[in-house]
Structure 1
Amino acid sequence: MSSAEMSMVQMYIPTEVAREVIYSVGELSLVQFIDLNSKVNEFQRSFVKELRRLDNIERQYTYFKTELDKRHIEVKATPFEVTGVQQSEIDEHAENAQLLEDRLSQLIDANSDLYVNQRDLKQFRYSVQAVDNVFKSSSNSDIPSGLGESDELLGNLESGGNSGSGSRQGNFISGVISRSKVGTLQQILWRVLRGNLYYYTEEVVEPIYDVKNDEYVDVNTFIIFSHGSMIYQRIRKICESLNASIYNVDLIPDLRAVQLEELKVKLTDVDTVLQQTEAALNSELIAISRDLPKWWEVIAREKAVYQTMNKCDYGDSRKTLIAEGWVPSDQVIQLNSAVKGANNTQSIPTIVNVMETTKTPPTFHRTNKFTEAFQSICDSYGVATYQEVNPGLPTIITFPFMFAIMFGDLGHGFILFLAAITLVLNEKSISAMKRDEIFDMAFTGRYILLLMGIFSMYTGFLYNDIFSRSMTIFKSGWEWPEKFEIGQTLFAKQVGTYAMGLDPAWHGTENALLFSNSYKMKLSILMGYLHMSYSYMFSLVNYLYFHSVIDILGNFVPGLLFMQGIFGYLSLCIVYKWSVDWFAIEKQPPGLLNMLISMFLSPGTVEEPLYGGQATVQVILLGVALVCVPWLLLLKPLYYKRKFDREAKEQEYIQLANNESEVTDETIDDGGDGDDDEHHEEHTFGDIMIHQVIHTIEFCLNCVSHTASYLRLWALSLAHAQLSTVLWTMTLGGSFGMVGVSGVFMTVILFGMWFILTVVILVVMEGTSAMLHSLRLHWVESMSKFFEGEGRLYEPFTFKSLLAGVF
């Protein structure tokens, strides 16, 4: 149950084949390399030049991917396999990436210019049409006037008689502006010119594509009439400050018609060229999309190789690359074979040495697709210390079972089972899909969901609960009276024992909730006691493995006696109370909670005895528990205090014997060295004492709080059953009394409502809640009994998942 045994290896790799050897190691996914250049700046390492080149290629591939996403071109990569890549292939990839980037840049720039040209031509056309509409309507009396008589002004302008300039454009400004800025433009002009203008605007029905911001913008055309060239310059600057496009529109109607015809011809030509450019660009991108994942994989592997080589050190002659790393001990031979095969053309072999070290190796737990998710649950709390007991294995059973105790319903468990088995049976196709975050979490934990559904079906069978209904599978152990009067309180007679699970006779009775309440509450205490007890035994396994006798005697033994003397005794009393037929012996069963309280408050006094000699047993157990507190608190610190004193004396004797102490008489009289040693001992002893005080207080309090915490099993199980009953009663249960067409219609409608609410509320929401509570019981109540969790995860150099999240 502990992590795999690890070895530190040192590899001497000839420089000529360093890249090939590291590449082969990456394909094995065995070595976690140690950074031998941790004190060297990233930009001063040996392979910065190669990494910069590869970074540039990745930048180019990112550019290709961005353009593919922008044009919604899906990357449909054909299955490929990347094996050892030669340096010449990398050079070819770099050259091709540069050529493709230049080609795409030219096409995209040309495409953007064409879109800008198309936008200007469209806006110009709309401006000409707007000016045409204004002058055609100049005789209408409803045209607003801003400069005296508007009819006279517009008539003079169209006849060319205004200002005597002879300009074909006349004294007006026309253009196009974003619709959101129309009001702003009008307010600014009105305040600057104090109302001495004629302003006209109309909406453009077609949105205009803005290639710069890659969006369609609603725009308006506008026409402004005023007096004076200086005023016109001011108006133009105001319009340009609001990013309006200004166009020179002919004043004469015939010339405007010619302008419209010319714009139409130009727009047709631009649209034709734009379609051809778009087709060429899309064809280029589609061709890139077929091979981009493979190219990117090759470059990502090459980059990972050089990043790993940057962690290695050169020998004195710079002919050998020295690498160090951690490898599972049983795979050192496989590593040796792989690196030898990578440089079989060289006369100088790669040497792999297993080193002796005092460094703590990383923690490596071997998993498969079934156990991986359960291991992730434990690793999320903390990575186990090297060779510490791994809580991941028992979690495979305890996690879904704790969930099932809270979620116990045969129907709800079956729905969860169906969802999980669908993910399991289609895991190959789903793993190849691009998944969002929530669906990916469900898919990753598909085997957890599967076991949660199976265990929930089992506990639902024991609870005799399927969608809040009961099942009569075996013969009931209770018999109701055949004759009774109306209004009479009925009492069932026990005639036997139900074969397995909860007797269906309890369903619908007045005291059903009282019975299930007491039953599930005591079961929760028993489950908590068993869960914590076996978890606490793992601490003994750790102490035995690490040969820590003082932890066995100073922590495990007194802790075990304290826990078993109080809560083990309570659990035993629960089972014993269930085994007694209190009705047959005509006695009232005692309350166990009051019994436990009086055991501490009034030792030796038992008001309602559960068994003979109970008072004596409880006094003995209470005495053992009280003795265990100072035992926990003092034994380990006093042991280390004596150990430090003995080591200090031994060191002093060694120094005197070897004449290593060179102190003057003044120093000896002053006692400086002795004070320093004493200070060191007191500081170390103080640390251990403080740690042990905290551990003792935490352990004693946690025995109480953690046991009570398991009552969540009872509370959530009760809440789930009651909520299921309420949902049935308020929806589907009320439809069974209806008859005829209306009854059929209401049954269908209410069934749909019941099923949707069951899945959403009882399966998804309640299931999530129960899962989180089960997670807390493992992280806090169970793992705190033995789990140190000060390890670091084994992360070997590998080529797997280099492009995770990219495609």
Structure 2
Amino acid sequence: MTESTFFRSEEMSLIQLYIPAEVAQPTVSELGELGLVQFRDLNPEVNAFQRAFVGEIRRFDEMERQLRFFTMQIEKAEISIHSTTLTTYVPRARTRQELDNLEERLSEHENRLLQMNLSYETMQRHYLELTELKHVLRETAVFFEASEQSNAASHQDDRRRRSLDEPNAPLLGDLETGPSQDAHGAHLGNVTGVIPRDRMQTFERVLWRSLRGNLFMNTAEIEEPVIDPTTDAVVEKNVFIIFAHGREILAKIRKIAESMGATLHPIDPSQEGRREALLDVMHRIEELNSVLINTSQTRRQELTRIADNLTAWMTIVKKEKATYHTMNHFNYDINRKCLIAEGWCPTNEINTIQAALRGVTERSGSMVPSILNELRTNREPPTYHKTNKFTSGFQNIVDAYGMARYREVNPGLFTVISFPFLFAVMFGDVGHGILVLLAALYLVFNERTLARVEGEMFEMVFGGRYIILLMGAFSVFTGMMYNDIFSRALPFFRSGWEFHLPDGYAVGDVVVAQPNGHTYPFGIDYSWHGTENYLLFTNSYKMKMSVILGVIHMSFGICMVYYNAKFFRKPIDIIGGFIPQMLFMQSLFGYLIITILYKWTVDWFETDDSGHPVRNTPPSLLNTMIYMFLTPGSVNEQDKLYPGQGFVQGLLVAVAVICIPWMLFLKPYYLKFEHEKIRALGYHQPSEHNVRISTDSAGSDDIGGAVVAEDNHEEEEFEFSEEMIHQAIHTIDFCLGCISNTASYLRLWALSLAHAQLSEVLWTMTLGAAWSFSGTIGVILTIVMFSVWFSLTIFILIGMEGLSAFLHALRLHWVEFNTKFYAGTGYAFKPFSFASVLSEKDS
């Protein structure tokens, strides 16, 4: 048993459990509360619908459906759902009787709620019909009153002389006495009802074209909102009354109206009848409204009682369903009358699991204890990194690239520091870093409250709050190194340079600063800011710094090859991998770092007593690296850094060249030699001997001891050609990658330059321009430009530039660093855990 560490994944063990059938459900439930075992499916060939506990799972599916129905009704009624408490829910396995009672209780609540919903919806529909009829009676009464006044003003003889066929003939003459016939025997009637307002124009157009204008139509809007009982949506409707000749035309109007979604409400032809009908409708609406209020209150009380226990019921059902779903992965031993399970668990937690098994046996009063066996197997275990709220975000960055192989070095440990640091190299600004740091501190100090906020984007940012915290802190540090705060420099210490203006100095003249013998103790001297060669100096500094950081980062990754090979006892990976790779890297790029540091330490403008330069002009390191390969062993005098440089560079090139066949041939031929030696001795591969104890064996001699697990897969046969091809690809990838990856680290310089220049431009175009004015105008412009500057700083320099630096830092870790040693071919440890089950959102 090894000590838990973040440097490698946890040591895992394959365990076998013998669980008596009578305590299987509480035992699995207890293991679900622990969340320490990832169970294997021992019935992969059995269909999901043919497993032992499919009936129970269907039962809980039905209960989940009922609970989702309750949830929808409660949310619709805008009732708050209470969270679980110790009084409403106790985390323990439920007995069969308790589950039967819960199922019966849920069914009772559902039946009562369905009956109330049906009754309430029926009454609402009736209420809607009465409300529409009320508006129809009111609007038609107003229409008929206006028509009567118009008819009274007309002379009776003039009305008889006019033909009904004329366009101006009154159609409403004798309507009060009911449907009538004119001199030609034509029947005059009306159709009344309501229709949705958005269909009114279409309705009029269809009627006009279908009847060729042989109708008279009047409409009025219903100002009171009408609620559809089916959808609970507010629908705007209009009242209409249509007059036309002939029963066939009236029937056609009714069909068209019903097809357009209109509701027809016939009215009494007499004024007295309409008045009585209106009074009756008002009385019925008042009674129905009272019944609706009482029904709604009763329904709300029922939903409130359900809401008090809904979360507890949902927790119970989800846990029990997950328990039986897990039990479907087990085998059943008929002879021992027990369930047999296998699963992976952290080795350090085996004692905890055994204690949980004993506790379940004692509480249930069972005479037969559950038995745990630790199995020996050559199967690759799952990878489990024990993380906390601080390290989980960094581990997720690594896992997004690929899950670590079991027990290999975990890059997440180094990512905690290297990721925010490389981000800060590209984002170095004290001001911007402080803003990022303040945002992260707000997330950290309010994490308990903010943890309940939902939203995919916010959850992603909140999960990485500690990453953002370190990114902001490191950005402040690198910003101080660059002496850059919102593109301005601050005189933290005394400058090492002095500007002496000569006599006759004019604006625009170039003045060369003189060293005063004082060394600026930390970061870049603020005197560099604003000088003509500031950009030239910072470009050279940041470019070389990027190369140095990149080579150190990649060399550290190569060092992890040694630790992996040592841990897995593969000396060939050290001799044929780590050593030549490190020699190749340091012969070329390690030497480049040394030349950079050497060039920084030499005073290339030193003169002798007579004033002549002691050394040549500083040589170009780019030319040095190029001619190191083109003319190995010789160096031009103008490009010489130190005596004996040609011999050293020739030796380093020779070492780098030798490392290529070393990496290419040593490992494949060593593996071939080992394979032929094993075959000559007549040994077989270990996987051919691994078997598992029989699950239907009647004997119990092996129970409680370590047994051997069968592996259904065989190791691949050794093929020298395949191994040679694989090693050739790996060698070419490493050699070319050393060059391309080193160049890739120049993104640290490029993004740092872009960030600094964009910040400078933004300051100059906003606050810098505002401060060129004075007086009231200057104050107003300063206020306006400050808001513009701050907004652009947040959204562009921190938002967009920060995201860009984050993605580039991600690339440097995934590609340039991880590929040096990280396999990333493992699979994650996913234990049976109620915490994970309850955190999953319903699909």
Q: With the length of structure 1 as denominator, give the TM-score of the two structures.
A: 0.91
Give a deviation string over 1:571-591, Cα, whole Å, max 9, x none: 221111111111214532111
User: Residues 146 and 196 of structure 1 are in contact (CA less than 8 Å); yes or no, is this contact kept in structure 2?
Assistant: no
3-state SS of paired residue (1:177): strand
Question: Matches of 1:609 and 1:409 in 2, distance apart?
Answer: 37
Q: 1:636 corresponds to which residue?
A: 667
Aligned equivalent of 1:101: 110
Aligned pairs (5 A) from 1:199-210? 199-210=217-228
Pick aligned residue for 2:258 from 240, 243, 260:
240
Deviation of 1:70 after TM superposition, in Å, equals: 2.0
Q: Is this contact kept in 2: 1:416–1:450, CA < 8 A?
A: yes
Q: Distance in 1 between matches of 2:683 and 2:408?
A: 36
Q: 1:480·1:492 contact (CA, 8 Å) conserved in 2?
A: yes
The equivalent residue for 1:422 is 442
What is the 5 A alignment of 1:72-471? 72-77=78-83, 79-80=85-86, 82-87=90-95, 88-138=97-147, 148-149=166-167, 151-160=169-178, 162-163=180-181, 171-317=189-335, 319-344=337-362, 345-431=365-451, 433-471=452-490
SS of the aligned residue for 2:373 comes to strand
CA offsets 1:95-133 (integer angstroms, 9 cap, x no match):
221111112212222222222222222222222233334
Code of the residue aligned with 2:267 in structure 1: it is V
Question: What SS does the corresponding residue of 1:384 show, helix, strand or coil?
Answer: coil
* Aligned residue runs from structure 1 range 768-779, under 5 A: 768-779=803-814
Superposed CA deviations along residues 399-432 of structure 1, whole A, max 9, x for unmatched, are: 110111111111111111111112212222222x
Distance of 2:165 and 2:332 partners within structure 1: 86
| Superimposed CA distance per residue, residues 168-200 of structure 1 (whole angstroms, 9 cap, x where no aligned partner) | x96221222222222322232233223322233
Letter in 2 for 1:488: D
**What letter corresponds to residue 203 of structure 1 in structure 2?**
E
**1:36 alignment counterpart:** 42
Deviations 1:655-687 (A, max 9, x none): xxxxxxxxxxxxxxxxxxxxxxxxx99982222
Distance in structure 2 (CA, Å) of the matches to 1:548 and 1:327? 26
Within 1, Cα distance between the matches of 2:642 and 2:197?
Answer: 90
Give a deviation string over 1:187-215, Cα, whole Å, max 9, x none.
32233223322233333323321232331
Q: Would the aligned equivalents of 2:164 and 2:170 in 1 still touch at CA under 8 Å?
A: no
Q: Which runs of 5+ in 2 are unaligned?
A: 1-6, 152-162, 607-613, 686-714
Answering whether residue 591 of structure 2 is matched by residue 569 of structure 1, we say: yes
* Offset, 1:378: 0.8
1:725 CA displacement: 1.5
Q: 1:594 to 1:271 in 2, by over 3 A?
A: farther
Describe the SS at the equivalent of 1:787: coil
Partner-residue secondary structure (3-state), 1:154: coil
Distance 1:259 1:67 in 2: 37
**Is 2:483–2:523's contact at 8 Å kept on the other side of the alignment?**
yes
- Opposite residue 456 of structure 2, the aligned amino acid is E
Match for residue 712 of structure 1? 747
Q: Who is 1:492 aligned against? A: 513
Tell me the amino acid that sits aligned with residue 59 of structure 2. Answer: R
Query: Residue deviations 1:210-269, cap 9 Å, x none?
Result: 232331122222223223222322222222222211111222223222222222222222
Q: C-alpha distance in 2, partners of 1:631/1:292?
A: 68
Measure, in 2, the Cα distance between the counterparts of 1:641 and 1:233.
96
Aligned ranges 1:640-719 → 2 under 5 Å: 640-651=671-682, 684-719=719-754
Question: Aligned partners of 1:78 and 1:29: how far apart in 2?
Answer: 20
After superposition, the Cα gap between the structure-2 partners of 1:146 and 1:221, relative to the gap in structure 1 and judged at 3 Å, is: farther
* Worse-superposed segment, 415-424 or 282-291: 282-291
Tell me how far apart the structure 2 counterparts of residues 374 and 79 of structure 1 sit (CA, whole Å): 33
Equivalent position of 2:688 in the other structure: none
**Would you say the 8 A contact 2:430–2:484 is kept in 1?**
yes
Change in 2 beyond 3 A, CA 1:805/1:207: farther
State the match for 2:616 in structure 1.
Answer: 587
Distance 1:10 1:405 in 2: 51
Q: What is the DSSP-based 3-state SS (H/G/I as helix, E as strand, rest coil) of the residue aligned with 1:153?
A: coil
1:199 aligned counterpart, secondary structure: strand
Cα distance in 2, alignment partners of residues 504 and 370 from structure 1: 36
User: Per the alignment, in what secondary structure is the counterpart of residue 385 of structure 1?
Assistant: coil
Change beyond 3 A, Cα 1:358–1:164:
farther
**How far, CA to CA, are the matches of 1:688 and 1:146 in structure 2?**
103
Would you say the 8 A contact 1:197–1:224 is kept in 2? yes
Q: Decide whether aligned partners of structure 1 residues 146 and 548 sit closer, same or farther in structure 2, where only a CA change above 3 A counts.
A: farther
Contact 1:146 1:195 in 2 (8 A): no
- Confirm or deny: 8 A CA contact 2:668 2:724 kept in the other structure: yes
> 1:17 Cα shift?
0.9
* Aligned equivalents of 1:220, 1:285: Cα separation in 2: 35
Secondary structure in structure 2 of the residue aligned to 1:326: strand
- Cα deviations across residues 573-616 of structure 1 (Å, max 9, x unaligned)? 11111111112145321111222222233434434122222222
Contact 1:297 1:802 in 2 (8 A): no
User: Alignment RMSD, CA only?
Assistant: 2.5
Distance 1:554 1:161 in 2: 108
For residues 25 and 146 of structure 1, the distance between their equivalents in structure 2, rounded to whole angstroms, comes to: 90
Residues 681 and 161 of structure 1: CA distance in aligned 2, closer, same or farther (over 3 Å): closer
In structure 2, distance between residues paired with 1:200 and 1:184: 15
- 1:335 aligned partner, one-letter code: I
Residue 616 of structure 1 is aligned with which of 640, 644, 647? 647
- Separation of aligned partners in 2, 1:622 and 1:150: 110
* Structure-1 separation of matches of 2:53 and 2:716: 49
- The 3 A distance-change label for structure 1 pair 147 and 249 is farther
Distance in 2, Cα, partners of 1:423 & 1:316: 55
Per-residue deviation, 1:372: 1.2
Q: Counterpart in 2 of 1:665?
A: none
SS in structure 1 of the partner of residue 52 of structure 2 = coil
Match of 1:24 in 2: 30
Distance 1:147 1:406 in 2: 88
Q: Does 1:538 align with 2:563?
A: no
Q: CA deviation at 1:532?
A: 0.7
> 1:622 & 1:349 partners in 2: Cα distance?
69
Once the two structures are TM-superposed, the CA of residue 646 in structure 1 deviates from its matched residue by 4.2
8 Å contact kept, 1:476–1:504: yes
- Mapped partners of 2:413, 2:232: distance in 1: 53
Indicate the residue corresponding to 1:514 in structure 2. 536
Q: Return the TM-score normalized by structure 2.
A: 0.88
Name which of 719, 736, 743 aligns with 2:771. 736
1:476-532 Cα offsets, whole Å, 9 max, x none, are: 011111434114310000123211100000011111111111111111111111111
- The residue number in structure 1 matching 2:526 is 504
Asked if the contact 2:188–2:245 (Cα under 8 Å) also holds between the matched residues in 1, the reply is: no
SS of match in other structure, 2:17: strand
Paired amino acid for 2:656: A
- The answer on whether the counterparts of 1:4 and 1:366 sit within 8 Å (CA) in structure 2 is yes
Looking at structure 1, the residues matched to 373 and 278 of structure 2 have their Cα atoms a distance apart, in angstroms, of: 84
- Whichever residue aligns with residue 534 of structure 2, its letter is A
Amino acid at match of 2:479: G
User: CA 1:146–1:691 in structure 2 vs 1: closer, same or farther (change >3 Å)?
Assistant: farther
Aligned equivalent of 2:21: 15
CA contact (8 A) 2:675 2:718 kept: no
- Please tell me whether the aligned partners of residues 176 and 220 of structure 1 are also in contact (alpha carbons under 8 angstroms): yes
